[in-house]
Amino acid sequence: MKKLIFKGAAVALVTPMQSDGSVNYKVLGDLIEHQIKNETDAIVICGTTGESATLSAAEHSEVIKFTVNKVNRRIPVIAGTGSNDTKHALELSKNAEDLGCDALLIVTPYYNKTSQQGLVEHYTYIADRVSLPIITYTVPSRTGVTIAPETHLELSKHPNIVATKEASGNISEVAKIKSLCGDELYVYSGNDDQTLPFLSLGAVGVISVFSNICPRECHDIVQSFFDGDIEKSRKMFLHYLDLMNVLFCDVNPIAVKAALNLLGFECGECRLPLTGLSLKNREKLAEILGKYLPKA
């Protein structure tokens, strides 16, 4: 059995911005401390929610360095290092390794796409050249590429490929992955609204957008399940479902940054080409956020 990176709820952390669009490291530090205080099990930095697509190489490195130093080994730090260029993904991955990260989250190649054999070669090329454990990441709504269960089985044979973040939305595929790979590949839910079904199929946690807003609640949903209190986990999960869903009323991370701003964290706007929430969605977000967090 491979070593587990984390078990529970990891936050896919936003990257807060100043009014001029630069990274707001003061607020980033505040967010990190807020997450750790509220029992988040790991921090994923520079992922999709962290707007990795519009971070420069220098910013990508600096945000990871800041996060690693701020966390200071209290919980695992997982860096998003995916690219549609295999060699560039390797460069990002080796840099994250040098900066002291605990693991890598590597999304499938996007835009140019690839075959299932291409996926095997892509991930193997990187895994052969780094020592950190790798979480593969399937999110076809953004990339147009899905890692097939049989491909997961092949990738799971590599000692450095230890887990996958599944955001395909296909529960049947998750069942098949677990059936084929067993304990040789851990599974994390990549969709908040599917966390509980994933856990029932043997997933070991979630990489969560919702956790930006409710870190302790997200942690407790997962921990209650692992503690054997399935009814508490179910009730909490269903209770917060509307809040989880409204965070995706627009392209992620537009809504979650807006929600954090409403909560007083001053995360700024997303970088173009992502824009602010429409008035209709802003009102909807404020209404639902106020229902769960009256002080928002």
Q: Which residues are catalytic?
A: 137, 165
**Residue 196 near residue 221 (C-beta atoms within 8 A):** yes
Distance from C-alpha of 146 to C-alpha of 75, rounded to nearest angstrom: 30
Distance from C-alpha of 266 to C-alpha of 8, rounded to nearest angstrom: 27
* Residue 66, strand partner residues: none
> CA 203, 196, 252 angle in degrees (round to 5)?
90
3-state secondary structure of 259: helix
**Residue among 274, 266, 221, 269 at smallest CA distance from 243:** 221
Helix (H) or strand (E) holding 127: helix 116-127
End-to-end CA, the chain: 44
Using alpha carbons, list the distances in angstroms from residue 99 to 59, 72, 143, 206: 13, 12, 27, 24
3-state secondary structure of 79: strand
Contacts for 98 with CB less than 8 Å, ≥ 6 apart: none
Distance of CA 216 to the CA centre of its chain: 16
Question: Which residue's entry shows tokens 């401390």?
Answer: 33
- Give 211's DSSP letter: G
3-state secondary structure of 216: helix
